[in-house]
Amino acid sequence: MTSIQVAQRGTGLLRVFNEAGVLSAADVHVAVRLGRMGREDSEAVLFAAALAVRAVRSGSVCLELARMREIGIDADETRDAATGIDPASLPWPDTDQVLTALRRSPLICGGPAGPLRPLRIVEADAEGGALLYLDRYYRQEQTLRRVLTERSLDHPVIDTALVRAELDRLFAEPLGAGPDRQRLAAALAATHWTTVVAGGPGTGKTHTIARILALLTAHRAATPKLPALRIALAAPTGKAAARLQEAVREQATELGLPELTASTLHRLLGWQRGRTTRFRHHEHNRLPYDVVVVDETSMVSLTMMSHLFSALRPDTRLVLVGDPDQLASVDAGAVLADLVAGPISAAPNPALGEVASVPGHVGAESISGPGRSGVDGEPGADGAVVGASLSGLEQRRLRGGIVRLTRGRRFGGRIADLAVAVRAGDADAALAILRAGGADVSLCAPDDTAAVRADVITASLAVTAAADAGDAIGALTALESHRLLCAHRQGPFGVERWDRMAADWAAAGGAGPEGPQAVWYPGQPLLVTANDHEARIYNGDTGVIIRRPDGSLRAALQRGSEPYLVHPTQFPAVVTVFAMTIHRSQGSQYDTVSVVLPEPESTLLTRELLYTAITRARTHVRVIGTEDAIRAAIGRRVLRASGLSRTASSASGTSPRP
């Protein structure tokens, strides 16, 4: 076990919780420094400050003071085992005493040392207890609140007859019984400045994006004397941006869209290294676009989202797309999940009802008015978007510009049942599905590697055969036939160990390097770990080495229907990959997925992690782990505290609260 780094300046509670592994040395150092700058020596305040730093480092925006005792041992992947200390046995201070000390602290109120107030308290309300923020993250969250509120005060002026006609054209084919939520998403984007399109894998999110753009483009074209619609497509990573671009371009000819280019959010905002303003576009230099679409929004941090919101013009339509049940950003915040779960305060929008209702069915008031359930009437085959299948919750969400796509097309059967059980937190149902097994799902003990070994060898041989024949499409297709996913990077259940084992299995089966000195070989699976935008190579890209007819080697990367070939030496950074982390797999799909679960005690093992892993599979998901690990994963939610999902609350920071 790697020893815990102890901050030498930490004393009292800081020292105890640092040695126990609840706080890191960095958490303690920041708290001590803040105390010295603000002339604060209260042990309770410094301890709370350290926990607030720890919360941000763990992905939360703030610290829920009432739940601080639920914080466990830090999930440091370099440790092979826990400290053996039960966090509940530690000397946690009384929450009320901590809150009282914070209310009068100069770190909250300012003091003799100056106006420095690096901490903020949002007091308790009906939705939860007090929240402690680092000032930076409080301001970022308030930016989102302010911009969202301002953008919800009015709605775009539209030609309702034209929008409805375009909806009929773009969504002419009915999806079956019930409301067409893809059509409804397009109607929302036409009638709202901010639209959130949520949905799991295979629910048609990119299909919907393309039709939203086609609808808005047609509406602009019908308005005389206005320039063409300026559209920006963006995603948090280069890989996600490339996938979005290709998905939209594949539908561009059919829908009459111009050729669009997607970029990362950093490139969209104009990253400036070494400048006083981090991005070229901000609240004083807004983005020039009429429509901004952000895909994979679940992976966007609070900090990046606040930069984007600050740079938006008030009359820019913003469409946020993603799966709120997947793993969130590695940085602080789970903005998409907060928006979907948050309160709805927007005013009713009559135009939505006008373009989305169908004669003979539910009228405009059921969508734009107060949400109500129990609506009678089945939608017809003409693509009606309202009816009995829209619950009261869905109708309330519509007022806020939020719709969740529900019809999965990428997978079904037992995989879909398993994903639903995990998302619902039903461990008994999930285990029953896994125990029953079958063609779609299977459960293996941690030491039962026969099945995963067979899949690794079969996939590797197929990749190698196609690559050796110069068949790039065939090699990439075979590469997606199986993927080994892990929660950790290191340790007995981590990527490093399982990647080595899988490489050995493949080589023993005849799908390895051609010699001990070979750096590149046909069939070699690759993972890009750095961006090179000029070369169109992105962090997270996967590919395979193929042999060309002249005997030379090239790396084939997936780019829509046509592979993108580059010389291996062009990669800014690349590794051979047989296994990857579940985080890395987001946005990708494979025929069969083998998921290696760590021991139940791992704090990385969460419901969101397991759901993300399961939904990477198209035809079969294999869970390698114990039933205890599965129960632990389903029972443990990602604890990402934030105030965005609450109604607006006031913050202490100017004067103490009685």
Residue with tokens 């102890």: 6
Residue 200 marked in a binding site: yes
User: Which helix (H) or strand (E) segment is 525 a member of?
Assistant: strand 525-528
In which residue are the tokens 């291996």 written?
Answer: 568
- 404 near 198, Cβ under 8 Å? yes
**618 by DSSP, 3-state: which?**
strand
The CA distance from 165 to 629, in Å, is 52
Q: Where are the beta strands (DSSP E) in 106-230?
A: 119-122, 131-134, 194-199
The CB density around residue 252, as the number of other CB atoms within 10 Å, is 15
Largest CA distance in the chain: 80
The Cα 172–Cα 246 span in angstroms is 24
Is 206 annotated in some ligand binding site? yes
Task: Tell me whether residue 204 is annotated as binding.
Answer: yes
State how far the Cα of 370 lies from the Cα of 547, in Å rounded to an integer: 62
* The token pair that represents 488 in the structure block: 């950790």
First to last CA, the chain: 47
**Alpha helix positions (H), 389-426:** 392-399, 413-424
Three-state SS at 163: helix
Tell whether 199 is in a known binding site.
yes
Report residue 231: phi and psi, to 5°: -120, 135
202 among the known binding-site residues?
yes
Distance between CA 487 and CA 495 in Å, rounded? 8
* Angle at the Cα of 579 from the Cα atoms of 615 and 458, rounded to 5 degrees: 90
Contact call for residues 613 and 585 (beta carbons, < 8 A): yes
Residue 517, by phi and psi: left (phi above 0), alpha (psi -120 to 50) or beta? alpha
In this structure, what are the phi and psi dihedrals at residue 62, rounded to the nearest 5 degrees? Answer: -150, 180
Q: What is the C-alpha separation between 332 and 303, in angstroms, rounded? A: 8
Q: How far apart are CA 573 and CA 537, in angstroms?
A: 10
Burial class (CB in 10 A: 0-12, 13-18, 19+), 537: buried
Annotated binding site for ATP: 199-206
Binding site, by residue number, is 199-206
